[in-house]
Structure 1
Amino acid sequence: MTHIKQFIFITLITLSGINTSNAQDLNHQSTQNLLNGFISTINNDFDKVKNAKGSPYISDIFEVVKLKRFGDKTFYGRYDANLGEMQLKLDNDTIVLNNAEKYEITFVMGKKIYKSYNYKNDDDILKQGFLVVLGETDSMAFLKEEVVKYYEEKPSTNGYDEAKPAEYKRSKDVFYYRSGDDITLLPQKRKDFLKLFPKNSEDLKEFIKENKISLKDGEDLITLFKHIKTL
């Protein structure tokens, strides 16, 4: 069974007295050594993952990632969208970032950026977790929550209905709007969305109409954000 471990980079850097510029020069082995003593084990149910259909991960493969606080140093990471966890692969261990800390993680191949935030989800539950950055300035951002839900196994109840195995299923993405430090659900109705930008509402209304922008589509929101930056 793979070891899942949790660590807090900010504590590591503080205690070891290493600043960001020095961290860029660390090699893989020295990083592993530094992590010793700052890792605690998390008990995850791997049998659940193994025996279920589908996957809790956005991609099962560990991809090359960079953590902003470590500069150009690269790791291998993947995102568990069921647990809301960012995993890194180091030697024979899989370690989990403590999402209560502030992180900015870039998946190098697709330049996809995750940041950790405090926010309320669409069920009005306060969470600390990772959101994908669709577009960002100092004052605002469009963000996306990727969600995979787990459904328990359903045995046949009478011998006639079909049993259903445990399964992970990708749910619809949930979109958010950051204004300053406040993160709220991004309005899905056009009239409500335009209220976010009262000075440019007419321009945005026309742009959304001409380009057939859907406020429920991530790629469309990226296009829309790029236009907003030009206003």
Structure 2
Amino acid sequence: MKKTFGFLTAALVAFSLNAQTSGQVATYTTGVGAQTDGLYNYAMGAISDKLEKLSYEDSTIEGSPYKANTFMPTQLYYGDEAIGQVYYRYNAHNQEIETKQQNLDQEPIRALGRDKKIKLMVDGKPMSFKTFIDKSGNTQNGYLTLLRDGKYKLYKRLNIVFKDAKKAPNSFVKGTPARFTPFTEYYLESEDGKRIDEIELNTKKFLNVVGSENRESVKQFIKENKIKLKDEQDVYAILTFLNS
């Protein structure tokens, strides 16, 4: 009980500071409502100066850093507890979820708190901040969307990379404009929940991510079912087998 009260107090203090800097009036309630309000304001995060300074409106840049440029409504959760609705826009370039309490132009943009218990629903799937290992073996942090739950969990990540413009080396070759390039990545969480590794749509590389105790049976399953591992549906089929 003391731990919960301490967390709630910290969340309300953080919200109070945010309200002072944003011109909003801080309000407080008591009991269960106070805890939910505190979690909501904690999850919404602070108003980010960084977000206000970023501009992607250069007409010479192709593409966008966002999954969608508009703010969309969604339900916000802390663990399994629904704590309120929010408007969000996912900046996949810098792995940040921008939020608004109301979808108004004058509404300040916040950066969703990077607490791993915070999640929001995207196209009916939960999305949350995770630590994972990419295909190069590097530990990274970012947002993953849970596609399939079970002993092994399958995640999807939208990663948007910015590439600078390249000048034409000579008059015979065209230069390339600056652009945001999207990539879709898939990640598998181990049965013990201790690792989340990127999986590639390649049978040999996929088998390297699967635990050694399941490797041979998965290999046999792929062979017997003539799975080419070329798309998301092939991954679903293997995951169904792993979780059976």
TM-score greater than 0.5 by the shorter chain: yes
Identity %: 17
Q: 1:128 aligns with which of 138, 141, 148?
A: 141
2-structure distance, mates of 1:97, 1:36: 5
- Identify which range, 153-162 or 76-85, moves more after superposition: 153-162
Q: Are 1:62 and 2:77 matched, yes or no?
A: no
- Name the amino acid aligned to 1:56: P
1:223, 1:40 → 2: CA distance? 42
Structure-2 residue corresponding to 1:206: 221
Contact 2:145 2:155 in 1 (8 A): yes
Q: Identify the residue that residue 153 of structure 1 maps to in structure 2.
A: 165
Question: Could you say which structure has the larger radius of gyration?
Answer: 2
2:98 corresponds in structure 1 to: 87
Q: Secondary structure at the match of 2:207?
A: helix
Gap runs ≥5 in structure 2? 1-5, 14-28
Q: Work out the CA distance in 1 between the residues paired with 2:97 and 2:199.
A: 24
> Are residues 148 and 226 of structure 1, via their aligned partners in 2, closer, same or farther at CA, if it must alter by over 3 Å?
same
Equivalent pairs counted in the alignment come to: 211
1:122–1:174 CA contact under 8 A, matched in 2: no
Does 2:176 correspond to 1:164?
Answer: yes
The yes-or-no answer on 1:41 pairing with 2:49 is yes
Helix, strand or coil at the partner of 1:161: coil
Q: Is the 8 Å Cα contact of residues 188 and 197 (structure 2) preserved in structure 1?
A: yes
Give the root-mean-square deviation of aligned CA atoms.
Answer: 3.9
Aligned to 1:3: none
Query: How far did residue 207 of structure 1 move?
Result: 6.1
Contact between 2:130 and 2:143, CA under 8 Å: does it hold in 1? yes
1:168 shift after superposition: 1.0
Which ranges in structure 1 are unaligned for 5 or more consecutive residues? Answer: 1-9
The match for 2:126 is: 113
In the alignment, is residue 103 of structure 1 matched against residue 99 of structure 2?
Answer: no
The separation in 2 between residues aligned to 1:169 and 1:87, in whole angstroms, is 20
Superposition deviation, residue 83 in structure 1: 1.1
Look up the match of 2:235. 221
Pairwise CA distance, 1:101: 4.5
TM-score of the superposed pair, with normalisation by structure 1: 0.70
Q: Is the 8 A contact 2:47 2:108 kept in 1?
A: no
Instruction: Quickly say closer, same or farther: Cα 1:98–1:193, change in 2 above 3 A.
Output: same
RCO higher in structure (CA 8 A, sep ≥6): 1
Aligned CA distance change for structure 1 residues 39 and 202 (closer, same or farther; 3 Å)? same
Matched, 1:141 2:153: yes
